[in-house]
């Protein structure tokens, strides 16, 4: 029983670290380059989320449209598939990575379809989008890794009520 629990813990820590790493380095650092492959995150997703008070219209449409939501979903599938070789040697780790990808997708989609839910359930994500510093609070499913690496910033001015979606 210890091996599955340890494997799940390893998968959880690894997944949370990857969540932070991809969001921070890929979407925010590489995403700053105008015309770059990852520029859609800041140019579309952050812009639309702030413009609509936490709501992002891309997250209300089909998951597989080639917009910010669809690109993110494709990226999640790609990352999980890259870890498929773990199935034979560490199935619990792989299962946890896959489950965390599903949780991430669910939470991110719900956050931008229901901003009030995001504001109350995932305040660090609300602060990431609606606070004064979008280059903080990179984790979505939990804020423990942001606290560990020092990128968790509380943004009290971000606590305005979300606008109703048009």
pTM of the prediction? 0.89
- Give percent above pLDDT 90 in the chain: 71
Residues whose CB is less than 8 angstroms from the CB of residue 50 and which lie 6 or more positions away in sequence, other chains included: 129, 130
| 1 CB burial (10 A radius; 0-12, 13-18, 19+) | exposed
pLDDT band for 1, please (50, 70, 90 cuts): low
pLDDT digits (tens, 9 = 90+) for 62-72: 666 777 888 88
Residue 84: what pLDDT?
97
Q: At what angle do helices 91-113 and 2-21 cross, to 10 degrees?
A: 40
Closest by Cα among 22, 68, 128 to 30: 22
pLDDT digits (tens, 9 = 90+) for 79-138: 999 999 999 999 999 999 999 999 999 999 999 999 999 999 999 999 999 998 999 999
Residue 50 CA to its chain's centroid (Å) = 16
| 69 CB burial (10 A radius; 0-12, 13-18, 19+) | buried
């Amino acid at each position: 029983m210890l091996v599955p629990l340890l494997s799940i813990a390893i998968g959880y820590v690894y997944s949370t670290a990857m969540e932070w790493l991809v969001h921070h380095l890929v979407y925010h650092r590489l995403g700053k380059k105008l015309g770059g492959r990852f520029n859609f995150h800041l140019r579309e997703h952050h812009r639309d989320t702030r413009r609509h008070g936490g709501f992002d219209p891309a997250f209300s449409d089909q998951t597989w449209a080639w917009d910010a939501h669809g690109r993110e979903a494709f990226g999640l599938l790609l990352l999980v598939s890259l870890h498929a070789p773990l199935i034979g040697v560490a199935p619990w780790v792989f299962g946890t990575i896959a489950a965390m990808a599903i949780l991430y997708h669910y939470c991110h989609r719900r956050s931008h379809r229901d901003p009030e839910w995001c504001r109350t359930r995932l305040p660090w994500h609300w602060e990431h989008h609606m606070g004064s510093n979008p280059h903080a609070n990179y984790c979505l499913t939990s804020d423990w890794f942001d606290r560990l690496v020092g990128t968790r910033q509380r943004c009290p001015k971000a606590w305005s009520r979300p606008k109703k979606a048009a």
